[in-house]
Chains A and B, each alone.
Chain A
Amino acid sequence: MTDPLDRREERRFREEIREFVIAEVPETIRQKVAQGRDISRAETITWQRKLVDRGWGAVHWPQRWGGTDWGLHKRFVFEEEMALAGAPGVPPFNTRMLGPILLEYGTEEQKERFLPGALTLEQWWCQGYSEPSAGSDLASLRTRAVREGDFYRVNGGKIWTSYAHYADWMFCLVRTNSDVKQQKGISFLLLDMRSQGVSVEPIHHFYGAHILNQVLLDDVRVPVDQRIGEENTGWTTAKALLEHERLATSRHAEATRKLGRLLALARHNRDGDGPLYRRADVRARIAEVAVQVKALEFATRRGLDMLIRDGRIGVFASSLNLKGVATNQAVDEAILDIAGADALAADQAYDGLPRGLLNRGGDARYVAESRYYLRGPAIAAGSNEVQRNIIARHALDL
């Protein structure tokens, strides 16, 4: 681990990142990010490969596997600046979730086999954890894997599987023993989505987007050498999600970037009396949001500080998660209000609209649907209610 960057190094590094984003992200995609729209599978892969070419494809991996060996602080600055600069996000499943698990628990052979493809998105991974009857209470999952010689025969199904319709592979949790405490009977398998018996059904968000899916597993054969770790140790493996990932749930850089957009919209958009920004109520609203964003930024830095000092964030992660979601939602709601009628155009309709239809240049428009995406994180990976239970128990000793 390298030492924290000093102020001058940090400034230089941030410039380097911004220049890279300006040079490598096409205008069309920058617009999409600014407007909160989803980018396609092909666009995501193109972007990830540019990052890989630059040596930035998985900055938290060791250099040997295409990572960087950077210290925590530099990685934090990198991720923050990328988000601030409006770089497209890459789904976390490949490099942020599967990668660290392979590095920690995979055999050399498994690493050789899966890490390179995970890095370049040659293999697009999805995460098979949740099930219809196992949501926030994940350990109650029921998808069964029965050992038959060198294979497991897997039956059951997964739900809320993000980007399963894009995925080549799925890392998943399955039940290999039903006679023990729930957590002790779970194994961690890597499953080829092209195997016989796998089918993917879309689940559309209420606003129309297709990100989530249901994955049905009907007599799917998975070779035993695609199990990570020992049988029945999958719960430990899945829980070992790196502590630093828990920082990312605050989405503070995303909130900061959106705050900039909110300010720009308020200055640009007018009502009968002039720019909205001149209105006292609008400035009060923006100020309220800006204060929350600033608090979130410092809270995230405090989390980083804990990580560097103690190697863990602990229960503080639950506050970051709660407030990260709430703050991002607050910025989105303010943007929606400031955008006014300009926010009415549906995402699918957007590309066909003449640029000057509503506001001049069209840049002041905002795709309302992106706002609804964030209802999701208040539910996924431990709903707000589960976070509150964790805080009550582990921070407040209630």
Chain B
Amino acid sequence: MQFVLTEEQQLVSDTVRKLLEKEWDPRRDQALSSAHAVDGPVWRQLAELGLLGVALPESHGGSGLGAVALGVLCAEFGRQQWRAPFLASAVLAGTALEQAPQGEVRDHWLRQLAEGHGVLTLAALEADAGYDYRAIALTARATSSGWRLDGTKHVVMDAACADAFLVTCRIDEAPALVLLEKDHAGLEAALFTAFDGTSLATLTLTDVALPESAVIARGPAAHNALDAALAHAALAAASETLGACEGAFERTLDYLRLREQFGTRLATFQALRHRASDLHADLEMLRSLVWGAADGLMRDPRHGDAFAALALAVPVGDRVCREAIQLHGGIGMTQELGIGRYLLRVNALSRLFGDATHNGWRYLESLEDEHHD
């Protein structure tokens, strides 16, 4: 198990940090939603560096650096408050495609995605299913001219800039992953922006024709691809939360060291020192768990530890980012300072991929599977 970065992973971290420092200003770009990022310099340069496919195999245009590097990258995004379709495209759709069986369509889009020529997203979540991406009711209907789809998918990230959708559905009872390009007849995305700037959509499918070539995976293969995508998304979300916390916490510590009230620096008050120490200990645990979970995904792309990581990231993220505001006092409330954006982001991530209880349950499930092996 590895708890320090290799030279290569450190390079990824340093490169992305410098890139974001140079090209991205969360305050200046306040109004931009995540979908705008694909037109910006950071996205383009990440593509050139091969980092849009950081965990995808080299044979498909990725860098083959694995889940640890993916975590490192997402932590940097979290720290610098970068909004982009990375989770939707590189992580969710990318992992699902990579885990799906080989095929012309799948291979083509995987390469497009990894090389930055195409953006994909996953359309999986349905109404009344909570955070359960695996609950699929949308069922293909058999007609004389083949399969047809009618229904709705919720919380589709970055539909605004997606070139294609990976849609979960059922064909002959079995779960399936199908790929539909954005201009496919019968697709309509109702766009809106989340409170953290993530671009979202509700995707309506009306009498959508489903050619055989669109079916990327069926049955257990679809199930496995989706599970791997969700496990990687959990790790990515946990890593991004960790990075956000680190950013918020470091800025807060700086403030405690400098700000004077009642004739002394805030850092001299033991009540505040102890609060900071508790946050530090929380973060050390989260950091350890995120790294351990990334290591698990290197061995098994569906490893359940990723859900444990997110289950811990949700409450720790909320606590650290709330405290960052509180410890700053009034200035912490301002858009100008921007410390509150960390809280918006970590809260949004848990709305997207499940709260602590949901992810904790999934982790417990994975422990039970272990016992049955």
Q: Indicate if the CB atoms of B277 and A388 lie closer than 8 Å.
A: yes
Number of A interface residues, CB 8 Å?
34
Contact with B along A372-398 (1 / 0, CB 8 A): 000000000000010111011001111
The residue in A301, A387, A397 that gathers the most chain B C-beta atoms within 10 A of its C-beta is A301
Known: A296-B285, A398-B267. A392 touches B274 (CB 8 A): yes
Q: Indicate if the CB atoms of B253 and A396 lie closer than 8 Å.
A: yes
Q: Please, which residues of chain B bring their CB within 8 A of the CB of A292?
A: 285, 312
Q: Indicate if the CB atoms of B360 and A291 lie closer than 8 Å.
A: yes
Q: With CB as the reference atom, state the residue of chain A lying closest to B314.
A: A291
Q: Please, which residues of chain A bring their CB within 8 A of the CB of B308?
A: 290-291, 294-295
Q: Please, which residues of chain B bring their CB within 8 A of the CB of A309?
A: 4
Q: Indicate if the CB atoms of A290 and B285 lie closer than 8 Å.
A: no
Give the size range of B's interface with the partner. Answer: 35 or more
The reply to whether the CB of B273 lies closer than 8 angstroms to some CB of chain A is yes
User: Which of A154-162, A190-198, A315-323, A339-347 has 4 or more CB atoms under 8 Å from chain B?
Assistant: A315-323
When chains A and B are docked, how far (Å) is the Cα of A319 from the Cα of B357?
A: 25
Contact with B along A274-296 (1 / 0, CB 8 A): 00000000011011101110111
Q: Please, which residues of chain B bring their CB within 8 A of the CB of A207?
A: none
The reply to whether the CB of A333 lies closer than 8 angstroms to some CB of chain B is no
Which of B3, B267, B281 meets A302, CB within 8 Å? B3
The reply to whether the CB of B1 lies closer than 8 angstroms to some CB of chain A is yes
The reply to whether the CB of A299 lies closer than 8 angstroms to some CB of chain B is yes
User: Which of B20-28, B80-88, B287-295 has 4 or more CB atoms under 8 Å from chain A?
Assistant: B287-295
Q: Please, which residues of chain B bring their CB within 8 A of the CB of A322?
A: 278, 281
Contact with A along B30-60 (1 / 0, CB 8 A): 0000000000000000000000000000000
Q: Indicate if the CB atoms of B311 and A287 lie closer than 8 Å.
A: yes
The reply to whether the CB of B76 lies closer than 8 angstroms to some CB of chain A is no
The reply to whether the CB of B361 lies closer than 8 angstroms to some CB of chain A is yes
Q: Indicate if the CB atoms of B277 and A391 lie closer than 8 Å.
A: yes
Q: Please, which residues of chain B bring their CB within 8 A of the CB of A396?
A: 253, 273, 276-277, 280
Q: Please, which residues of chain A bring their CB within 8 A of the CB of B292?
A: 294, 297-298, 301
Q: Please, which residues of chain B bring their CB within 8 A of the CB of A290?
A: 308, 360, 363-364, 367
Which of B1, B281, B287, B361 meets A391, CB within 8 Å? B281
Q: Indicate if the CB atoms of B288 and A287 lie closer than 8 Å.
A: no
Q: Indicate if the CB atoms of B280 and A395 lie closer than 8 Å.
A: yes
Q: Please, which residues of chain B bring their CB within 8 A of the CB of A306?
A: 3
Interface residues of chain A: helix, strand, loop or mixed (majority): helix
Known: A309-B4, A388-B274, A388-B278. A283 touches B257 (CB 8 A): no
The residue in B253, B287, B360 that gathers the most chain A C-beta atoms within 10 A of its C-beta is B360
The reply to whether the CB of A305 lies closer than 8 angstroms to some CB of chain B is yes
Q: Indicate if the CB atoms of A301 and B3 lie closer than 8 Å.
A: yes
When chains A and B are docked, how far (Å) is the Cα of A319 from the Cα of B311?
A: 20
Residues 82-115 (chain A) with a chain B CB within 8 angstroms: none
The residue in A290, A306, A387, A388 that gathers the most chain B C-beta atoms within 10 A of its C-beta is A388
Q: Indicate if the CB atoms of A284 and B361 lie closer than 8 Å.
A: yes
Q: Indicate if the CB atoms of B281 and A319 lie closer than 8 Å.
A: yes
Tell me, rounded to whole Å, the shortest Cβ–Cβ distance linking A22 to chain B: 19
Residues 38-89 (chain A) with a chain B CB within 8 angstroms: none
Tell me, rounded to whole Å, the shortest Cβ–Cβ distance linking B7 to chain A: 15
The reply to whether the CB of B231 lies closer than 8 angstroms to some CB of chain A is no
Q: Indicate if the CB atoms of B4 and A305 lie closer than 8 Å.
A: yes
When chains A and B are docked, how far (Å) is the Cα of A286 from the Cα of B287?
A: 21
When chains A and B are docked, how far (Å) is the Cα of A292 from the Cα of B284?
A: 12
Q: With CB as the reference atom, state the residue of chain B lying closest to A327.
A: B285
The reply to whether the CB of B256 lies closer than 8 angstroms to some CB of chain A is yes
Known: A286-B364, A287-B361, A294-B292. A299 touches B285 (CB 8 A): yes
When chains A and B are docked, how far (Å) is the Cα of A296 from the Cα of B312?
A: 11
Which of B288, B311, B367 meets A298, CB within 8 Å? B288
The reply to whether the CB of B119 lies closer than 8 angstroms to some CB of chain A is no
Known: A290-B360, A295-B308. A302 touches B291 (CB 8 A): yes
Q: Indicate if the CB atoms of B1 and A398 lie closer than 8 Å.
A: no
Q: Indicate if the CB atoms of A291 and B311 lie closer than 8 Å.
A: yes
Q: Please, which residues of chain A bring their CB within 8 A of the CB of B267?
A: 398
Residues 51-99 (chain B) with a chain A CB within 8 angstroms: none
Q: Please, which residues of chain A bring their CB within 8 A of the CB of B149?
A: none
Contact with A along B257-284 (1 / 0, CB 8 A): 1000000000100101110111011001
17 further A-B contacts with Cβ under 8 Å, apart from A305-B1, A309-B4, are: A287-B363, A287-B364, A291-B360, A291-B363, A294-B363, A295-B288, A295-B289, A295-B312, A298-B288, A316-B284, A318-B281, A388-B274, A391-B276, A391-B277, A396-B273, A398-B257, A398-B276
Of all A-B residue pairs in the complex, the 8 with the closest CB atoms, nearest first, are A287-B360, A298-B292, A299-B288, A392-B273, A391-B277, A388-B277, A295-B289, A298-B288
Ordered by A's residue number, 5 sampled pairs between the chains whose C-beta atoms are within 8 Å are: A294-B305, A298-B293, A302-B291, A392-B276, A395-B280
